[in-house]
Amino acid sequence: MALKWGIVGVSGIGVSHAKALQGFEGVELYAACDIVPEILEKFCEQFNILHKFTDYEEFLRSEVEVVSICTPHFLHAEQAIASLEAGKNVLCEKPLAISVSEADAMVEAAQKAKGKAGVVFQFRLYPPVQAIKKLMPEIGELLRGFYQCHHFRTNTYYRQGKWRGTWWGEGGGVLINQAIHDLDILVFLLGLPKQVIARVNNLGHEGIEVEDIATAVFEWDNGAQFVVHISSVVSGLPTRFEVTGDNATIVMEGENVKIGRYDISLRQFLSESQEVWGSPKVSWEDVSIDKSMPHSHEDSVRLFAKSLMEGESPPVSFAEGAKSLELMNSMILSHFCGSPVSIPVDRKAYNDLLAELKEGKRRLRK
C-alpha cells in the first residue's frame, strides 16, 4: 500500500514537495491543507489531489499517514506536534521552529510518537559540503575557521507575506530564514560550539523588524575560534568556508573545494622548530566533487519518503534539525544581552527576549 501523503501550506515550497512525490513509487499524494481556499483548489487541481482541507484538525482526522509541513515558521511547532500526536509521520520544512524551547517540545513529541519525524535541510547533501564532510577527519584538532554567506533580498521579497520579516512570524531575519541552511551546514561539519558571541543589526531593509546582517564568533572547549558573517544586504560575494585543524586547512569558495595539508602538524612545528621565521610547508590539492549524488530540495523530500518505506531513521531528525536553531537563538540573545552565550541556550532568557521583541519592547538599532 502506498503511503498516504498530505501537504499543509501549498502555495510556496509545498509545491516542491508535491513535485518531488508526484509519481514517486510507494507514495500517494492523498491530501492537502491551506487556509486560503483558492490556493488549495489550484494546488489540488494541479496535482490531482482529492482530499482538500482548510482546517488542519480535520486534515489530521483524515487517513493521511505522512504530513509535509510547509507553512510559515511560527506554525511549525504547533502543527508538527499535533501531527505526531495524531500518529502521523512528519516532514517539517526548515527552520524546525522559531525558538529552542519549541524545538525541545518537538523533539520530545518525536521521541514519544509512533511516527517518524524529519526536517528538510537539503544543503547537507550539497556536493561540496559532502566532499568537505569526508575530508574533516583529516584536519585534526579544530583551531579556527571562517564562513561568509550573503543572501541578498529586496524589500519586495519581504512584502510577499505578512509573517515575513517579523519576530512573531519568522522569529528573526536572515539568520532564521536563509542562513539557517548555513548554520545547519556548520553544525553538520563542526558540531555545536561551547559558546557564541554575536552582533546583529538591520542595515538595509525598511519595514522589517528583524536582522539583515550578523557577525558571530563561535568558540569550542579547546579555544578554537570560528567567525561567521552573514547578511541579506550584500550581493556579489561568493560563499566562503575555511576551516583549519592541526594537520590541514580546507577551503570552499563557491562550488570549489581545496585542501592544504601541512607536512608537519602546526602544533608540532610550533613547539619543535628551531627556525625563527619558519612555518610548515603546505601542499594544496583541488578536491574533485561528485555531483551525481541526489542533492536538490526535491531529492531531500524523496529521501525522507524512502527512509519511511525502508524503516530507516530520517536523514535529518528533529534533534539534529534543532541544532541550527541553537546557533541562531544564541546569536540573537548574545546581541541583545551584549555578552557571550553558552550552548545550550538558556531557554527562559531566550523566551523572555523573544516575547519583548514581539511586543516591540526591544528593537534592533539602525
Ligand X SMILES: NC(=O)c1ccc[n+]([C@@H]2O[C@H](COP(=O)([O-])OP(=O)(O)OC[C@H]3O[C@@H](n4cnc5c(N)ncnc54)[C@H](O)[C@@H]3O)[C@@H](O)[C@H]2O)c1
| Range 344-353, long-range pairs (CB < 8 A, 24+ positions) | 344/100, 345/100, 347/99, 347/100, 347/101, 347/104, 350/99, 350/100, 350/101, 351/99, 351/101
Minimal distance in Å, beta carbon 142 to ligand X? 28
326 scored as a contact of ligand X (CB under 6 A): no
Residues in the interface with ligand X (CB under 6 A) total 24
Helices (H), the chain: 13-21, 37-47, 56-61, 76-85, 100-112, 127-135, 155-158, 180-190, 266-272, 297-309, 318-337, 347-359
Task: Select from 35, 293, 337, 355 the one that contacts ligand X (CB under 6 A).
Answer: 35
Q: Identify which of residues 42 and 362 has a Cβ nearer to ligand X in the complex.
A: 42
Among 27, 120, 196, 230, binds ligand X (CB under 6 A): 120
Q: Which member of 26, 127, 140, 161 binds ligand X (CB under 6 A)?
A: 161
Of positions 7, 13, 91, 252, contacts ligand X by CB under 6 A: 13
**CB 56 to ligand X: min, Å:** 5
What minimum distance in Å lies between the beta carbon of 63 and ligand X? 18
Q: Which of 297, 302, 358, 362 binds ligand X (CB under 6 A)?
A: 297
Binding to ligand X by CB under 6 A, coded x per residue (else -) over 121-160, reads -x--------------------------------------
The span from the CA of 176 to the CA of 338, in Å, is: 20
| Residue at grid coordinates 572547549 | 221
Give the residue at shortest CB distance from ligand X: 12
Closest approach, Cβ 34 to ligand X, in A, equals 4
In angstroms, give the least distance from the CB of 55 to ligand X: 8
The number of angstroms, rounded, from the C-alpha of 238 to the middle of its chain's C-alpha atoms is: 19
Cis previous bond, 95, omega within 30: yes
> In the complex, what is the shortest distance from the CB of residue 86 to ligand X, in angstroms, rounded to a whole number?
15
Q: How many angstroms from the chain centroid is the CA of residue 108?
A: 19
> How many other C-beta atoms can be found within 10 angstroms of the C-beta atom of residue 114?
10
